[in-house]
């Protein structure tokens, strides 16, 4: 056990050193020379202090992302090799004869350990955002969100864990296929619930106060054949200075949502461009493409997890303190493998997402015919979030679901040039 713990800690430490070296020693975020002085150059729309803060904040934020991504996997591994997961299972089994109650008790202890150990890391991220004036959220409000996260995630995970263990025990060879089949309606159900049940737990949503702007947004939606009757505003200024807008939900629960920070910091033309961009996702059915991609990846992922779990238990089950994949104590291993595979596949999913975001940008230009507002919007988004317009390649591949701001501004600017040349 000591050897495994030592190797795990050393591997995690060396990984952190590599990420630090990559982000702070080798990547300077410099623009290619041909972009200097163009609208994509942050020196043209940020002052010296904003440039410095953007560089500092982005590096620290990226570092935290990479070092915390495997942190939960590490905790799961520690639970397994120290026998803590097996002990939680014994406690649950000694409490009740009902499987549902045992599952709830077992996952409560797992969730409590992970949340408690992770809380300082979460606080560092919150403190960082607060220090750089990205977050405006008070500490009590932040703690309230942490508690909501804990209980909502716990409720969902108890259901998932219970169903998984039941399927593994009932369909020993084909449980992964049954789990995949059930994950499809479950994911769609959660997407349907999110805008009306989950999101309001964190923020207040209400119809857009600016009715003139709402009318113009709905006119764009009508031209795009989007059946929207209202635009919603959310009071994000209580928590952040960043800006955002999105279309969420599916079916009758679909919503067009604007953060109030976006309404405060952008003019009407820029807001209409953002809204047209979001509508582009709807028109081009990106949500259904995303669901299709999820089906393929989850099919392959669950099959791989099943194979890896069986191999690890047969080869290292004694060291991991589990005898079969149908134990509650084996669930940390399942979610460890899911986390690793999800992280490994993120460059692929992010690349697809970036293609969709670019096509949504192009759709927004077709709808608004206002490239100047598009460029100004991207510049404003960079300033408000203190994000680098040209991040290092590793950061882009693993973190960016959108094209970088340099890419977005550049292809907008080139589009202007091409049209002028015509």
φ, ψ of residue 49 to 5 degrees: the values are -65, -40
Q: How far apart are CA 321 and CA 340, in angstroms?
A: 20
Q: How far, CA to CA in Å, does 353 sit from each of 360, 396, 398, 401?
A: 10, 12, 12, 5
Buried b (16+ CB within 10 A) or exposed e, 113-135: bbbeeeeeeeeeebebbeebebb
* Residue 278 bears catalytic tag: yes
- Residue appearing with tokens 């919007």: 377
246 phi and psi angles, rounded to 5 deg: -165, 165
Tell me, rounded to whole angstroms, the distance of Cα 409 from its chain centroid. Answer: 23
Cα 312 from chain centroid (whole Å):
29
The token pair at 291 is 């669901």
**Order of strands across the sheet with 255-259?**
205-207, 231-234, 255-259, 245-248
**Residues forming beta bridges with residue 240, ordered by sequence position:** 135
Question: Which of these is catalytic: 278, 393, 414, 419?
Answer: 278
Rounded-to-integer distance, Cα 84 and Cα 313, Å = 17
Q: Which residues are catalytic?
A: 278
């Amino acid at each position: 056990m000591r050897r495994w713990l030592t190797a795990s800690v050393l591997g995690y430490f060396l990984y952190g050193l590599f990420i630090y070296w990559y982000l702070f020693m080798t990547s300077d975020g410099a623009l290619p020379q041909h972009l200097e002085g163009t609208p994509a150059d942050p020196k043209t729309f940020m002052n010296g202090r904003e440039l410095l803060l953007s560089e500092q904040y982005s590096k620290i934020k990226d570092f935290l992302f990479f070092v915390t991504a495997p942190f939960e996997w590490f905790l799961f591994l520690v639970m397994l090799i120290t026998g803590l997961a097996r002990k939680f299972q014994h406690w649950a089994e000694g409490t009740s004869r009902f499987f549902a109650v045992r599952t709830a008790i077992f996952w409560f202890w797992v969730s409590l350990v992970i949340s408690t150990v992770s809380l300082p890391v979460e606080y560092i991220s919150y403190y960082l955002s607060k220090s750089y004036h990205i977050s405006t959220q008070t500490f009590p409000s932040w703690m309230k969100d942490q508690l909501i996260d804990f209980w909502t995630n716990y409720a969902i995970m108890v259901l998932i864990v219970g169903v998984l263990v039941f399927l593994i025990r009932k369909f020993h060879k084909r449980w992964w296929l049954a789990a995949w089949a059930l994950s499809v309606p479950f994911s769609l159900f959660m997407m349907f619930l999110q805008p009306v049940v989950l999101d309001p737990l964190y923020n207040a949503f209400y119809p857009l106060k600016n009715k003139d702007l709402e009318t113009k947004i709905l006119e764009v939606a009508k031209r795009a054949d989007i059946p929207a009757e209202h635009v919603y505003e959310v009071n994000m200024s209580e928590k952040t200075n960043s800006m955002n807008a999105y279309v969420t939900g599916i079916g009758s629960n679909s919503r067009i949502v604007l953060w109030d920070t976006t309404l405060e910091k952008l003019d009407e033309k820029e807001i209409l461009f953002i809204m047209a961009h979001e509508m582009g996702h709807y028109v081009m059915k990106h949500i259904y493409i995303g669901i299709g991609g999820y089906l393929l990846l989850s099919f392959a992922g669950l099959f791989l997890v099943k194979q890896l779990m069986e191999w690890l238990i047969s080869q290292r089950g004694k060291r991991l303190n589990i005898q079969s994949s149908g134990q509650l104590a084996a669930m940390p291993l399942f979610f460890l493998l899911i986390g690793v595979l999800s992280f490994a596949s993120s460059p692929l999913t992010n690349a697809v997402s970036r293609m969709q975001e670019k096509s949504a940008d192009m759709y927004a230009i077709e709808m608004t015919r206002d490239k100047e507002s598009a460029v100004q919007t991207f510049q404003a988004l960079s300033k408000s979030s203190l994000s680098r317009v040209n991040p290092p390649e590793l950061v882009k591949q693993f973190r960016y679901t959108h094209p970088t701001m340099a890419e977005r501004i550049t292809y907008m600017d080139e589009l202007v040039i091409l049209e002028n040349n015509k």
